[in-house]
Amino acid sequence: MVTNEIKLNVKRYLPETGEMKESQYVVKANKYTTVLDALINVKEAQDSTLSIRYSCRMGICGSCGMVINGRPMLACQTHLLSLSKEEISVGPMEGHPILKDLVVDMTEFFDKHRSVMPWLYVDNEEKFNPESQYIQQRSELDYYLPFSYCIKCGLCVDACPVSNTNPRFLGPQALSQAYRYNSDSRDHGERTRLEKVDAFDGVWGCEYAGACSEVCPKGVDPALAIQLLKLDVMKFSFTGKVNDRKSVKV
């Protein structure tokens, strides 16, 4: 199998001294080698002080987001040779506070996610005493399914020009998840979510740059979700009604 030598230029942050620096490592790569494989190899064989975060290695857990050649990407889904360069730059996501090297602090990101109630909200007795099941039709599933693939990697927030200039903006991930749960026929939390996102730091902060959807590794299309959420917010403000995507309980 063809093996190439690639230079990895890794941007690093040392919290003890506040120093930013760049370290260069040379790694061997074949067509299967991902950026994450290369970084793990560096950590194991060349420099144990390098900090990286990962878990699943297969694009599911959302842990390994970083900026690769200037673009927010998942390291475990990016093959080194697909980047067609002998030198590759790798750095931490820049839209989140950096903890060390390639590891960023996701606390604020998850706080915003939690603030839109990303769960099925049931506001009646049935929550404690379920008596029957909610049947969902295929057509009802289609309303939210594409937006349910979010793995909370934070790449969309990293790419969003509004998130990068207004730290209070809820951001494409949280807003798209507000739409995802509002569009689920089993949920009854729409009013609370619509009131939450009807704000300058909510849906109205979105300038539809579309960068979030460009970089999303799961094809979630947060930009579309936010525009659809704007429609729901307007309908709610003018008519007091929420969407009618409700299923029938049987």
- Partners of 29 in beta bridges: 4
Task: Please state, as a whole number, how many other Cβ atoms lie within 10 Å of the Cβ of residue 41.
Answer: 16
* CB neighbour list of residue 80: distance below 8 Å, 6 or more residues apart: 4, 6, 27, 29, 33, 34, 35, 37, 38, 88
**Is 153 an interacting residue with respect to ligand SF4 (CB under 6 A)?**
yes
| Residue 76 partner contact from ligand SF4, ligand FES, none using kind-dependent CB cut-offs of 5 to 8 Å | ligand FES
Cβ pair 194, 142 in contact under 8 A: no
Residue range at the interface with ligand SF4 (CB under 6 A); choices 84-92, 132-140, 169-177, 233-241: 169-177
Residues 206-225, one symbol each (x = binds ligand SF4 by CB under 6 A, - = not), give: ----------x-x-x-x---
**Is 56 an interacting residue with respect to ligand FES (CB under 6 A)?**
yes
Spell out where 50-95 has E strands.
65-68, 71-74, 87-91
Shortest distance (Å) from residue 125 CB to ligand FES: 39
* CB neighbour list of residue 158: distance below 8 Å, 6 or more residues apart: 65, 67, 72, 93, 94, 95, 96, 164, 215
**Is 215 an interacting residue with respect to ligand FES (CB under 6 A)?**
no
| Residue 122 partner contact from ligand SF4, ligand FES, none using kind-dependent CB cut-offs of 5 to 8 Å | none
**Is 95 an interacting residue with respect to ligand SF4 (CB under 6 A)?**
no
Q: Which is nearer to ligand SF4, 38 or 153 (CB)?
A: 153
Q: Which is nearer to ligand SF4, 147 or 236 (CB)?
A: 147
Q: Pairing relation of β-strands 103-104 and 87-91?
A: unpaired
Residue range at the interface with ligand SF4 (CB under 6 A); choices 8-16, 89-97, 153-161, 234-242: 153-161
Q: Pairing relation of β-strands 87-91 and 65-68?
A: antiparallel
Query: Binding residues for ligand FES, per CB under 6 A?
Result: 54-57, 59-64, 74, 76
